[in-house]
Amino acid sequence: MPAMIIYQETAPIPALRPWLDCVWTCRVHARGQPMAHQVLPDNCIDILCQDQQDASFAVGMMTAPIQVVSCGLVQTVAARFKPGAAARFFQLPLCELNDGRTDLQQLWGRDLAARLGDALWTQPLPDAQRMLILQDFLLLRLRKIPLAPASGLALHAVALIEHAQGALRVDQLAAQLHVSRQHLAAQFRQQVGISPKLFARISRFRAVNNALKTLPAQADWAQVALQYGYFDQSHLIRDFQDFARASPQAWLARRR
């Protein structure tokens, strides 16, 4: 059998829609040679539960792309938090999760993580039922952790950056929220994971990346940079090198 990936995502249940972007499943068949695929920074945090050794873990905010290598048959059921929403489910500064994976046992305790693993993998279940099980456990966690008073500032800042597709300076953002840049940055690192400036850079990169399918094969990158609020073309090129490890033109060709 040739190596393949079967990926499916669906909307979360209504009670979790303020917090989750989606729930998703993935089946990787990589018999023989390992399969690798690149994952780009997306300003989101995910919880992944895999059937291999009952692995359940959170993947923190990414500041650079990563190569995910899979071997054999791997089944995953996962939840992707909306930008800035994961703090509602973890009792630690989210900057501690950046660019890594942290076992759910460490984040939620051995008992809850073990119960989740047993519920997901003890018996054969359809993917739709596994996604519901994971969401049931997220609801349990949601009810146990009170909403932090400071989280409103970070969530408001995230909403403003997302609305502007990253084309918003941090000093302008702080002024709109009537706080200092230092206070905003501290709250952002704790409640979101990375700095507001880096969050805005990734938001802007994502906006350009999502628009690539509408661009001609030989795009006018200076015009694209201007359209998406970059200071100049060199800043656009830097973001593609940092977040995709390729030039914009090379990445465009790869996406086609």
- How does pLDDT run across 97-127, given as a tens digit for each residue? 999 999 999 999 999 999 999 999 999 999 9
- 3 state SS of 82: coil
Q: How many residues does the chain have?
A: 256
Q: Which residues contact 137 (CB under 8 A, 6 or more apart)?
A: 112, 115, 116, 119
Instruction: Single out the residue of 137, 158, 175, 170 nearest to residue 61, CA to CA.
Output: 158
Q: Decide if pLDDT at 96 tops 70.
A: yes
Backbone angles phi and psi of 68, in degrees to 5? -100, 125
Each residue's pLDDT tens digit, 146-199: 666 557 899 999 999 999 999 999 999 999 999 999 999 999 999 999 999 999
Alpha-carbon span 99 to 96, nearest angstrom: 9
Backbone angles phi and psi of 31, in degrees to 5? -80, 140
The b/e string for 224-235 (b: 16+ C-beta within 10 A; e otherwise) is bbeebbbeebee
The dihedral region occupied by 96, where left means phi > 0, alpha psi between -120 and 50, and beta the remainder, is: alpha
Alpha-carbon span 25 to 130, nearest angstrom: 9
Q: What is the mean pLDDT of the chain?
A: 91
Q: Does pTM top 0.75 for this prediction?
A: yes
Q: Please tell me the predicted confidence (pLDDT) of residue 19.
A: 93
Asked if 60 and 100 touch (Cβ cutoff 8 Å), the reply is: yes
Rg of the chain, C-alpha, whole Å: 19
Alpha-carbon span 174 to 180, nearest angstrom: 6
- 3 state SS of 21: strand
Q: What is the mean pLDDT of residues 205-209?
A: 96
Q: Which residues contact 210 (CB under 8 A, 6 or more apart)?
A: none
